[in-house]
Structure 1
Amino acid sequence: MNSKQLENWADQLLIEYEEGRKGLRTMADELNPDENPIDKEDKRQINSMITDMSYAMDWMRTGRRPGNLRGVDKRSAYQKRVLYDMELFPSLDIEPEERTLSEEEKKQLYDILIELSNRERQCYLLHMANGASMNEISNQLGITKSSVQTFIQRAKKKISCHPSVVRNRIEDERDVI
């Protein structure tokens, strides 16, 4: 891969949008609305296009609508994050004692946990994997007990809706029938 090619289509699109926005800014700077009344309307249209491009670029960078104050903020939403070092899992002490997780199971678990926000992941793992009470977690993280409860509930909801969890549930139901 040469330096011009990028791994991600969104990165390439952002570069193209930036070049287009620079071109529009140059065009807007060349217009003189004081001397020509037509230039005033053209400048307004060009500024509107620049604003729209900036909005789209912010959306592509963050993976969510700009200005949206609620929701999970995901950096690099268009980039697949890959765990290269599977040694992370033993340090989390989340492997069951009865058996060792296969590499595929570890990957599925990682894919599920990476979808959670940092705080949801902290609270969920402390509660579910380490068996800490919500009060202990709130003291350890310096947040309220109700916040801990909310983070755990959100994490459980996200996990229960994750495609691999749903797929496994369907497979389990087929085995019972």
Structure 2
Amino acid sequence: MNDITDQATPESYRHTRRLLMIAADKLTQRMGALEDQAGKESAAGKAWFDLDRQRRLVIDMIASCSYIIDWLETGRMPGNRRGIERRAGYQREVPTDPSVLSAVLEGRSSQNTRESTVHLDGAPSLALERALCGLTERERECYRLSQAEGFTLAEAADVLKISKSSASTYLLRARRKIEANLRDGGGSSVG
């Protein structure tokens, strides 16, 4: 049976909503016909209240169909202010393996002459914590994606749902903070 009502699509819910609207109109017409008699006879009054109850139920079903249609078309719960693509900061956190970042930092410190005074021997996790100290979550995410995971700036921006220029700014800030932390705290505490 390949009827339109067999599938959960916006079209099938629109079709169902149309049928429900027709049913609600018919109930309203029947209630109008009984309205004149409702005051005269108690049986007609009871029938009118039964029709009113049925009509309210049908109207609730129409509202439910509209809700589902909106959800299916937009891909998010109707009435929500923020969809899944605009989550809060704590919801966007991506777990980071510190060993990956420490390997990146070790590789950079041996290649870079300005950072040659920093030695990560014996305590890579302490040096990593010191280097990443003071970074905001967004700066950490940009730095991790571009440096530790090898994403391009455009890919990192796409993953974080921000513009490429914002990702560039966050990455630049992160690099400056990490260099300052390595320069200031690296030589005196480690080594």
**TM-score by shorter chain over 0.5:** no
**Relative contact order (alpha carbons < 8 A, sep ≥ 6): 1 or 2 greater?**
2
- Select the structure that is richer in helix: 2
Q: What TM-score, normalized by structure 2, do the two folds share?
A: 0.36
Q: What TM-score, normalized by structure 1, do the two folds share?
A: 0.39
Larger Rg: 2
